[in-house]
Structure 1
């Protein structure tokens, strides 16, 4: 290990010309070595499975055969062991749909709430090469119809509790040529007349491994599923199920996130399947039952997503479960710096692994050391191995700032996620669309530029949270006519009417420099809009901005001097006409 340490240090110093960077390399080298060891283990495992042309379904079967009596899925009072429970169910799914005529390359939409059968259907279909499109169960009518069409599904599998949603589409003339399969108990009948009773079909299907399966299923390139999203679906390959989080054989993972979402599907269920460890599946997230569930199921690893989920937990009354659980790691994304340590202290979490990833992206970073506020790290001397790069962008339009050599971004709509000729002629990079801030050690944050200064939205949100408590807070930049950059704007939830505007204005002016203060304030009396995984819908509010004509459900204010005043039509007109100085 000492030789490896010195070798990497030598390369790092040789490729680094800045004294501060050399110091940073020395300080972070132990972290980087640990990260490399984990990364190489994942690469080695992937290579092993690639050589065998193994899919995630194959790995699932292999893990199950090693420990057949081990519980894989925990759901309410149910315990699904590897064999015969989980393995038998996946084989029945494979044989049933193979008998129904489905074959490799077909797409089937899975419109189902969290339950063990969700995973068994997904794995069972993948054994015969059928692609499962994971549908957001919150979608309705036109949005749902468009999502179904975007994945060109041959059939829809749904749990009976969601039949009313599909009935709405049928009444509107949709799904006429799509076969429906209802997962309901054998004692019930599907409420949609044309639906096939999947419960009975699976009960009668063979539970032995499916025959005549294509031998061309490969772990690296073969599509195991799609996450239906507009305007087009995101592809999930077999290799995306592997993750560098350190998991022990006796760990039990807890996820209350929707399984249609990549975070739960890949980083939760995928991790469980590929590592052969138990997975606790909860139908829906419950803040009041979160820690009680962790105690009940002996959970050691738990998922979170978005700061809102963590805020929900912090807002709960103190409980005996807060620190009597066995959770050693919590991992996810969206835990804000301002509540990070409060969360760790209250619930006694030894380590938080904040990460950066996206379902459609090809980049994953993990804060393996638990550094507060960071989403991961990429050592600058390892770009040959980990080709992630941050490029400077224009905060006004999000476009990369090009050099004098005229390197440009491809503007074709179908390639809007690809940047070409970034560092060298002919190279191509996936464009995440996220704006991150890089310090000398790590990468984190979301920024906008105002008055020639970079403003960290996380830092401003942290300041506002000191006054707003656990209410939702979103900060972003909005364009102002005649002004350079973007002025700060904040959206704050105020359901109980407790927000004191005078105290907020006083604190903002005291705690923030002029360029970082939110000039525009939008008070939402209901919940701030969120996705199905509790992420705050920042982009929605950012697009609406402070347009007084299009915002009817909120109160708008403007910072005049040291006071927030109502944004009247007259004041709004003065702002858009450039008469108000900032």
Structure 2
């Protein structure tokens, strides 16, 4: 008996304290492994089901189990799981009777955050059609490119006509069916669709319509501005989407929770976390058209929100709002997302109360992810042996000047020691595949890294510089190459340069991101050269930039050089430019700032520079 063994009692008493002192995260690791095992068992069971089990089938299970449960709240609208099922049936039936569409055809969805987005996606899933989720902010060249690279036969758009009309001639030429979610449309080449939906029956659709699908079949195309060029369509297959069901359940979310979704549904974060995750847990989604810092907590109180999702900018914006007496008066217990800085994390908790923050790392097309389940401030995840076994990864030394991994005499990459920054690469395996980009073999190949640790191996290049500390927490450091992140969006510098090249007065443009104190990510800046006898016209340049680029991709600063500097291999030089930023005290070249008030690029003065740093001028 324990009572007769004081030494044993002492050992049992000491062990928990010893573990907490020398292995403070062992219990959290143990619980996480249990969650991981549960997820793998559930996933394995679903993979073995016949007929094949997809995300749609989980939604249909929830509809049967809790038909009257509130699924979506949107403003004053309320839609139960049964409502969503019926409405999606009507959309599917209307689409079935549409000339030019056949079940299984790829369909492009051009909508912002609204319940119809969800109903339309469910309808297309019932018809066995892959869905291309187009960024609702893109226009002209980018919009047409995104549409073409998924080879969609149909475009279903929200009520806004202007953006669709800009590319309509090209769509008509390709024989694309363009459907507008309105009851009437007088524009030739665009058909009203809402009237057909309202007239369609809401009877269930046969499973046979999606019998052609396999786990490798495309489910959605999500667009990402990776390293260069126009947006790329990352292919998310049915298997990848099935794994996304675990995102919320693995973080303790249940059917009693209310999820606040204010990030764009056309992006990975909004779609996977804000929409697909609640399908698994049977939770309620509070859908917001777009993020509003001033309305955020009022919405949380109004709808009794318990779970929110974020990107780093969201948290910073919330912390920058005027303080209120009721800042801690809410029911939010959990925040899930990525990109929050340690100082913002601390400020958020101090101001808004005991909210558990679950930071994670992942990418749309990537094959590796991390979760910061212990909640250590600043980290994007925790690495451990089991993760390494299932999803082999490593950090390798990276030469930022040459923009490539450092290799040894044998041509292999060199591992970064613990505590030092390195490029995160993840081995491409059957368990961790890389599906690549639709209609873009070149960019797909560029994301593959060969001969990493041994000759012939193949890894996915995340393009992210990371660091692992002595406690095995991993931290995001920076992006490499020709991409920067601003307002929660990836900005491809080559795409912005291409747009600037169409301006008459500009000869060449070198686009990069620069840091601004107090802001997440990097704001866009361009070093440009003028054509011979060319004169910089701030108003004309402003009008062009606003017409062709979404707000987050517009260069806020322009620096005029006599010639754009290049390396010996003719790559544009960015490192020195990034370091100098937009400080008129360091930059001798003419500097201009995008001023929305006067609708022009205006000279950067010392006073303007100070106003930007102080935050009195908003970016």
Specify if TM > 0.5: yes
CA shift, 1:154, in A, is: 0.5
Q: Cα RMSD (Å) of the superposition?
A: 3.9
1:194 aligns with 2:194: no
Could you give the per-residue CA deviations for residues 290-317 of structure 1, whole angstroms, max 9, x where no partner exists? 0110111111110111x32222211211
Q: Unmatched 5+ residue regions in structure 1?
A: 1-21, 450-456, 459-469, 475-487, 496-525, 572-582
Match of 2:148 in 1: 149
Does the 8 Å CA contact 1:378/1:388 hold for their aligned counterparts?
A: no
Does the 8 Å CA contact 1:54/1:217 hold for their aligned counterparts?
A: no
Matched ranges for 1:562-573 at <5 A: 565-569=585-589
- 1:431 is paired with a residue whose SS is strand
CA shift, 1:202, in A, is: 1.5
- From the superposition, tell whether residues 279 and 570 of structure 1 become closer, same or farther in structure 2 (CA, over 3 Å): closer
Match of 1:94 in 2: 92
Does the 8 Å CA contact 2:561/2:589 hold for their aligned counterparts?
A: no
- Judge which range, 35-44 or 255-264, deviates more: 35-44
1:277 aligns with 2:283: yes
Match of 1:120 in 2: 119
Match of 1:400 in 2: 405
- From the superposition, tell whether residues 140 and 384 of structure 1 become closer, same or farther in structure 2 (CA, over 3 Å): same
Determine the C-alpha separation between the residues in 2 that align with 1:231 and 1:492.
25
In structure 2, which of residues 432, 456, 460 is the aligned counterpart of residue 426 of structure 1?
Answer: 456
Does the 8 Å CA contact 1:356/1:364 hold for their aligned counterparts?
A: yes
Match of 2:368 in 1: 363
Does the 8 Å CA contact 2:255/2:284 hold for their aligned counterparts?
A: no
Determine the C-alpha separation between the residues in 2 that align with 1:414 and 1:193.
38
- From the superposition, tell whether residues 323 and 546 of structure 1 become closer, same or farther in structure 2 (CA, over 3 Å): farther
- 1:339 is paired with a residue whose SS is helix
Match of 2:178 in 1: 180
Match of 2:213 in 1: 217
Determine the C-alpha separation between the residues in 2 that align with 1:281 and 1:170.
30
- 1:233 is paired with a residue whose SS is strand
User: How many residues align structurally?
Assistant: 467
Does the 8 Å CA contact 1:148/1:228 hold for their aligned counterparts?
A: no
Tell me the TM-score normalised to structure 2 length: 0.68
Match of 1:492 in 2: 516
Match of 2:244 in 1: 241
CA shift, 1:223, in A, is: 2.0
CA shift, 1:173, in A, is: 7.7
- From the superposition, tell whether residues 377 and 99 of structure 1 become closer, same or farther in structure 2 (CA, over 3 Å): same
Q: Unmatched 5+ residue regions in structure 2?
A: 1-18, 225-229, 414-424, 429-440, 492-511, 520-541, 566-576, 592-619
In structure 2, which of residues 447, 458, 469 is the aligned counterpart of residue 417 of structure 1?
Answer: 447
1:390 aligns with 2:409: no
Determine the C-alpha separation between the residues in 2 that align with 1:399 and 1:23.
41
Match of 2:438 in 1: none
Determine the C-alpha separation between the residues in 1 that align with 2:187 and 2:21.
63
- From the superposition, tell whether residues 174 and 208 of structure 1 become closer, same or farther in structure 2 (CA, over 3 Å): closer
In structure 2, which of residues 20, 28, 33 is the aligned counterpart of residue 36 of structure 1?
Answer: 33
Determine the C-alpha separation between the residues in 2 that align with 1:63 and 1:55.
13
- From the superposition, tell whether residues 558 and 348 of structure 1 become closer, same or farther in structure 2 (CA, over 3 Å): closer
- From the superposition, tell whether residues 122 and 382 of structure 1 become closer, same or farther in structure 2 (CA, over 3 Å): closer
Determine the C-alpha separation between the residues in 1 that align with 2:589 and 2:59.
61
Does the 8 Å CA contact 1:134/1:226 hold for their aligned counterparts?
A: yes
Does the 8 Å CA contact 2:110/2:134 hold for their aligned counterparts?
A: yes
- 1:330 is paired with a residue whose SS is strand
Matched ranges for 1:273-312 at <5 A: 273-305=279-311, 307-312=312-317
In structure 1, which of residues 322, 325, 328 is the aligned counterpart of residue 330 of structure 2?
Answer: 325
In structure 1, which of residues 372, 376, 381 is the aligned counterpart of residue 377 of structure 2?
Answer: 372
Tell me the TM-score normalised to structure 1 length: 0.72
- From the superposition, tell whether residues 159 and 96 of structure 1 become closer, same or farther in structure 2 (CA, over 3 Å): same
Matched ranges for 1:343-362 at <5 A: 343-362=348-367
Matched ranges for 1:492-531 at <5 A: 492=516
Does the 8 Å CA contact 2:559/2:589 hold for their aligned counterparts?
A: no
1:266 aligns with 2:280: no
Does the 8 Å CA contact 2:168/2:189 hold for their aligned counterparts?
A: no
Could you give the per-residue CA deviations for residues 354-395 of structure 1, whole angstroms, max 9, x where no partner exists? 111111112221111221000012214642123232222223
Match of 1:54 in 2: 53
1:339 aligns with 2:344: yes
